[in-house]
Amino acid sequence: MNNKKKQETIAKRQAEQKESLLGHLRRYPIIQVVCEKSEVSRATYYRWRDENPMFAQAADAAMTEGEEMFNDLAEHQLLSLMKDKHWPSIHYWLNKRHPKFNQTKVQVDGQVEVAFTYDQKH
């Protein structure tokens, strides 16, 4: 009887920790930081992922949401730097986004034949 109550207490605490962890993942998509903020070890986080596919899916979705937020923030900062005429930012944007400026890759096709001696082959 006491064991059942203990199990319920543990389950309730874990549910709260999981919810806290998911909330932090939406804001900080870094596992170590989230685990520290939620007072959950990394080993526990990964064990929960292995044991519960629904939790793993929710964690992945929360992490994606957090990453998208940081991507938006980074893009906003980049645009702010571009407005301030920061040349490296402008160059980066054009290099990554504009096909006319994104021609740094060169593809070389062909074959190279080298004659090896018997000793070099073995």
- Please choose, from the candidates 73, 77, 40, the residue with its C-alpha nearest in 3D space to the C-alpha of residue 55: 40
pLDDT score of 57: 97
pLDDT tens digits, 18-39: 999 999 999 999 999 999 999 9
pLDDT at 99 over 80: no
Helices (H), ranges, the chain? 2-27, 31-38, 42-51, 53-83, 87-97, 118-121
Q: How confident is the model at residue 105 (pLDDT cuts 50, 70, 90)?
A: low
Q: How far apart are CA 20 and CA 64, in angstroms?
A: 16
Domain extent listing, the chain: 2-101
